[in-house]
Amino acid sequence: MKLKGTINSDSHLIFINLPPINNAVLKQQKKIILISLITGIVLMLAKFAAYILTNSNFVLTDAAESIVNVIASSFAFFSIYLAALPRDENHPYGHGKIEYFSVFIEGALIFVAGLVIIMKAVYSVFHPNIIHDLLIGAGIIGVTGVINGALGYYMISKGKSLPSITIEADGRHLITDMVTSGGLVLGLLLIQFTKILLLDSILSILVGAYIIFTGYKLVRKSVAGLMDETDFEVVDNVVKFLNDKRRDEWIDVHNFRAQKYGNELHIDCHLTLPYYFDLNRVHEEVSLVDKLINNGVTKTELFIHADPCLPNCCHYCNMPNCPVRVEPKTEDIVWTMDRVIRNKKHFE
């Protein structure tokens, strides 16, 4: 781990932890996406074979979504390559946000696929197709659903452990595909045994609506990342951990913010310390905060702005035998997410 510290003009310390790019993780990410891409192409051909065999709009819904799987996996493979590129002058925070764009593309394609499916199904209500061989089609779709489900759960697990929002999003899409395939099998069996051909279009519309909702959720998640929306779960976990591990020297933490750039997490905050600490002591305290968070909660790039204490801090300061205390301690302040995200010391 490389540590760098600088002093700015108003004598505040900025502490930076820059994690190196893990080439082993990158190779694993590419391998997972490549498996997803190859599997997607094979299953797409199988689903379109089922559609040609049955002539069912309901089967077409699954086949159309499989095209999205292939396109999304292709773009995901490229985005993971870009996300792993090192920081440069034009991209001082790296290229990780491309993963959010990848998720946006995937969600948008899923959304469009859902709309096309619904329009085709509505048309078929008034101009019905002659459908046949539904049992064989159901068998083909059932097998593809099982494969997608197994691959999806694997990718979600790997997406969280690596971590990679692109792989996790691709995995969740495959789980959605498994669910729709399961519903498709049940629907085809229902049509086969009831002989109500109108169900083919009705069920297609329902599945199309579900696909649109799935696409919306992916788009919403990607936009949140591109707009640097606060990850409240990460902030809450880190704050609770720091509150449990806090030292007497750490008078308060404020202006706490967390951002994600693909699989990289960035945290910056202000840490109030006794104003009479010299630079070496400040560096020690800031380094300890960094090590605690990276070893105890999550791997992150950390920026800490060191603030000097003020006389108004004394009533909640735990510093023992403080040589400049102007009033005794009268209050214990628990660090909570609502308190530390404010851009002010706790007495303000």
Q: Report, as an integer, the average pLDDT of 313-320.
A: 93
Is pLDDT above 90 for 2? no
In terms of residues, how long is the chain? Answer: 348
CA-nearest of 317, 267, 315 to 293 is 267
CB atoms within 10 A of CB 45: 13
Model pLDDT, residue 22: 59
pLDDT (average), residues 28-53: 89
Q: What is the pTM of this model?
A: 0.61
Given this model, what pLDDT does residue 5 score?
Answer: 44
The Cα-based distances of 227 to 167, 231, 341 in angstroms read: 20, 11, 18
Q: What is the C-alpha separation between 276 and 6, in angstroms, rounded? A: 18
Question: Tell me, what amino acid is at 131?
Answer: I
Beta bridge partners of 2: 18
DSSP structure class, residue 311: G
User: Which domains, ranges and CATH numbers included, belong to the chain?
Assistant: 23-226 (1.20.1510.10), 231-340 (3.30.70.1350)
User: What is the C-alpha to C-alpha distance for residues 260 and 100, in angstroms, rounded to an integer?
Assistant: 10
Residues 6+ away with beta carbon under 8 Å from 282: 13, 273, 306
Is 347 within 8 Å of 315 (Cβ atoms)?
A: yes
The CA radius of gyration of the chain, in Å to the nearest whole number, is 27
CB 188 within 8 A of CB 59: yes
pLDDT score of 335: 92
pLDDT of residue 230: 67
Residue 56 near residue 135, CB atoms below 8 Å: no
User: What number of other Cβ atoms are within 10 A of residue 7's Cβ?
Assistant: 12
pLDDT per residue over 179-195, tens digit each?
A: 878 888 888 888 888 88
Read off the tokens for 29.
């990410």
Who wins on pLDDT, 229 or 326? 326
Q: What angle do CA 252, 257, 261 make, to 5 degrees?
A: 150
Tens-place pLDDT, residues 80-89: 777 667 777 7
Provide the token pair at 344. Answer: 């002010």
pLDDT at 271: 95
pLDDT of residue 228: 67
Please give the C-alpha separations between residue 79 and each of 30, 32, 164, 227, in angstroms, as whole numbers. 10, 13, 11, 18
Q: How many other CB atoms are there within 10 angstroms of residue 23's CB atom?
A: 9
Chain-centroid distance, C-alpha 125? 39
Q: What is the pLDDT of residue 131?
A: 86
Judged against a pLDDT cut of 50, whether residue 1 lies above it is answered with no
pLDDT score of 71 = 78
Q: Would you say residue 20 has pLDDT above 60?
A: no
pLDDT per residue as tens digits for the range 200-225:
888 888 888 888 888 888 888 788 77
Could you tell me if 298 and 231 are in contact, meaning their C-beta atoms sit under 8 angstroms apart?
A: no
The DSSP 8-state label assigned to residue 88 in this structure reads -
The confidence band for 7, taking pLDDT boundaries of 50, 70 and 90, is very low
How confident is the model over 239-261, as a mean pLDDT? 90
Task: State the pLDDT at residue 208.
Answer: 83
Which tens digits make up the pLDDT trace of 137-176?
A: 999 999 999 999 999 999 999 888 877 777 887 788 788 7
- Residue 143: the pLDDT is 94
Average pLDDT, the chain: 82
